[in-house]
């Protein structure tokens, strides 16, 4: 048999073999290294957002009574809700800071220090309960808390109503919307309606879920794969990427035993239910705009995203995450920052 190099069929076999070998080596390296390549990952081409555990926020705002939204916005910024006229809802939930005040604990009237970290008000309408311990079933019920809390606004509904009734503009606005005028229920309803309008759609990850494969980088994509494969997704999923269930802080290791003196705020839902199984159980926070809402955890003990990812890995998942793992997961979390009123947060 003639095996001369000039035989055309032999050259074809050699070339095809070399091509096959090259592709085999490339995909074997990709599989074993478990790293997304620098070029767009092949999964981008077959990714289907509809199959994912995270749901993008709707691009259109909720269908709300805009009169209530306007009134609620005014009340959200109203200092008269506090006893000494120094604190408004917006004091702790600053819309230009991701819906928080960037403090470990917020300040109330007379400079009093609160005992728990203020969660973001953005997308709070998607939470299944309000407050870290879930004691309020609705946004309306949540508003009742800070108004009457002596450390926060230190007021009462009778005092608030009396103040607002002395302002003719409020009397006119309330009477045009509510048949019974200025009441505690109507104040709560207006503010809650405004808060339900505070959605932040169109994050880069939402764009990715909707099919824009170029909206996130390979590193961010791989961070999302780690987020899912390590188990973070079991608590942080759905439209708010959390905010839809309770979970104990310290599933794998005793967080509170290793992190200082126990205070009332650390007891979580136990304060409400008195059930020992609810000790250290909290509402899982949503992760939208998480890059803007530090410090993190109910006690504000984690200053950075890197810190809180490491803590979650250790105490919730039993994992000692590498710096590279943390960097990639944080890269994914930074894609969750959305827009408000059509402008990036």
Instruction: Please identify every residue annotated as catalytic.
Output: 152
* Helix axes 168-177 and 157-165, enclosed angle (nearest 10): 110
Listed in sequence order, the residues at least 6 apart from 71 whose beta carbon sits closer than 8 Å to its beta carbon are 173, 174, 177, 190, 194
Torsion of CA 310, 36, 238, 213, to 10 degrees: 140
Q: Please state, in angstroms and rounded to a whole number, the distance separating the CA atoms of residues 300 and 285.
A: 13
CA distance 315 to 298: 15
Say which residue the tokens 């994509």 belong to.
221
DSSP structure class, residue 282: E
Instruction: Classify burial at 28, counting beta carbons within 10 Å of its beta carbon; exposed 0-12, middle 13-18, buried 19 or more.
Output: exposed
By the 8 A CB rule, do 75 and 194 touch? yes
Per-residue tokens: 265: 């705020």
Q: Are 118 and 80 in contact (CB under 8 A)?
A: no
DSSP string across 229-259: HTTGGGTS-BTTTS-SSEEES-SSS-HHHHS
First to last CA, the chain: 73
Please tell me the distance from the alpha carbon of residue 287 to that of residue 290, in angstroms, as a whole number.
Answer: 5
**Which of these, 229, 242, 226, lies nearest to 328 by C-alpha position?**
226
What is d(CA 118, CA 120) in angstroms, rounded to the nearest whole number? 7
């Amino acid at each position: 048999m003639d095996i001369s190099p000039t035989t055309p069929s032999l050259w074809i076999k050699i070339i095809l073999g070399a091509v096959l070998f090259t592709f085999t080596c490339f995909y074997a390296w990709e599989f074993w290294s478990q790293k997304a390549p620098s070029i767009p990952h092949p999964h981008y081409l077959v990714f289907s957002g509809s199959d994912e555990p995270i749901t993008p926020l709707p691009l259109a705002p909720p269908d709300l009574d805009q009169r209530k939204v306007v009134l609620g916005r005014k009340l959200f910024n109203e200092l008269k809700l506090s006893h000494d006229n120094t604190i408004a809802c917006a004091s702790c939930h600053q819309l230009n800071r991701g819906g928080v005040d960037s403090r470990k604990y917020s300040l109330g009237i007379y400079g009093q220090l609160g005992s728990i970290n203020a969660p973001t008000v953005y997308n709070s309408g998607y939470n299944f309960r309000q407050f870290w311990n879930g004691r309020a079933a609705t946004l309306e019920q949540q508003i009742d808390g800070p108004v009457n809390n002596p450390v926060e606004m230190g007021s009462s509904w009778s005092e608030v109503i009396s103040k607002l009734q002395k302002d003719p503009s409020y009397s006119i606005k309330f009477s045009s919307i509510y048949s019974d005028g200025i009441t505690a229920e109507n104040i709560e309803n207006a503010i809650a309606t405004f808060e339900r309008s505070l959605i932040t759609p169109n994050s880069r990850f939402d764009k990715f879920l909707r099919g824009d494969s170029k909206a996130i980088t390979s590193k961010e994509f791989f961070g999302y794969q780690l987020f899912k494969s390590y188990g973070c997704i079991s608590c942080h999923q759905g439209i708010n990427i959390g905010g839809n269930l309770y979970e104990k802080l310290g599933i794998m290791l005793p967080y509170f035993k290793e992190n200082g003196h126990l205070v009332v705020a650390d007891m979580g839902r136990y304060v409400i239910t008195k059930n020992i199984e609810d000790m250290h159980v909290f509402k899982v926070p949503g992760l939208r705009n998480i890059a803007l809402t530090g410090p993190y955890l109910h006690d504000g003990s984690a200053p950075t995203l890197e810190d809180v990812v490491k803590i979650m890995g250790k105490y919730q998942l039993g994992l000692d995450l590498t710096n590279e793992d943390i960097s990639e997961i944080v890269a994914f979390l930074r894609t969750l920052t959305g827009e408000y009123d059509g402008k990036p947060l």
